[in-house]
Amino acid sequence: MTSFAFRIRLRDPLSNEDADRVFESVKEEVAVEEGPRGHFIGFEREAPSFLDAVLSSLSEIINLGFEPVDVEDELVSMADIAERTNRTRQSVSMLVSGQRGPGDFPHPVAGNVRSPLWHWADVASWFESTTGGGVTFEDRTRTIASINGALANRVLARERPKDLKRINRLAG
C-alpha cells in the first residue's frame, strides 16, 4: 500500500464539535484546516491507489454529514519534489528558476518566496512531459478533475436536476 496526501474542501465551516467528530471517526491521520478558501479536512491515507484513498475518505466525510465541495492535491516543497524525483534539492531549485530544463516549471500555488509550495499533480505532470516518458507518476490531475466533477454533479442533482440531465447528455 502507498500513502497519499490530499485535502477535501467542505461547503460549510466546521465547528469545534464537528472537528471532534472527525478526529474520533477517522482512524488515520487527518488535519482540520481553516483558511481564506474555506474549511478543509486534510488526509494522509494508505490505499492501493490514489482513487481508492480519495473515494474512501469522501465516503467517510459524507457519512459524517458533511458536504464535500472538491478535492485538492497535496502541496509539496522543493525538498519533497527532490525526494520524489530522486534529484538533489539544488537540481530542483535550478529547474524552478529556469537555469536548467525547458524553463516552464509550474508556478507555486502557496507558501512564500522562501518556501514556495506546488500541487504535486502539476509537478508530476511537468516531469512526465519534460523527461520524455522516462518518469511515470500516477495521473492524479485527471482523477481529481473527475472526482470534483462528480461532487459538483451531486449538488446540481439536488438544486437543478434538469440542468444535470442536459449536461449528462454530453457524456453520451
Residue 29 confidence (pLDDT)? 82
Q: Where are the beta strands (DSSP E) in 11-141?
A: 30-35, 38-47, 68-73, 75-76, 110-111, 116-119
Residue 8 confidence (pLDDT)? 93
**Pair 93, 65 in one domain:** no
Q: What b/e string do you get for 54-85 counting C-beta neighbours within 10 Å, with b at 16 or more?
A: bbebbebbeeeebebbbbbbbbbbbebbbebb
Residue 121, judged by CB atoms within 10 A of its CB (0-12, 13-18, 19+), counts as buried
Residue 37 confidence (pLDDT)? 72
CATH number of 151's domain: 3.30.70
Residue 113 confidence (pLDDT)? 85
One pLDDT digit (tens) per residue for the chain, 172 residues: 888 888 899 999 889 999 999 999 987 888 888 877 789 999 989 999 989 999 999 999 999 999 999 998 778 899 989 988 889 999 999 999 999 888 889 999 888 888 999 888 788 888 888 876 555 566 777 888 889 999 998 988 888 989 888 888 887 6
Is 32 strand, coil or helix? strand
**Pair 92, 149 in one domain:** no
The number of beta carbons lying within 10 Å of the beta carbon of residue 30 is 21
Q: pTM above 0.75?
A: no
Look at the chain and report how many structural domains it folds into. 2
62 contacts: CB under 8 Å, gap ≥ 6? 68
Specify whether the CB–CB gap between 72 and 114 falls below 8 A. no
Specify whether the CB–CB gap between 62 and 25 falls below 8 A. no
- Residue 99, domain extent: 75-130
**Pair 11, 68 in one domain:** yes
**Pair 17, 60 in one domain:** yes
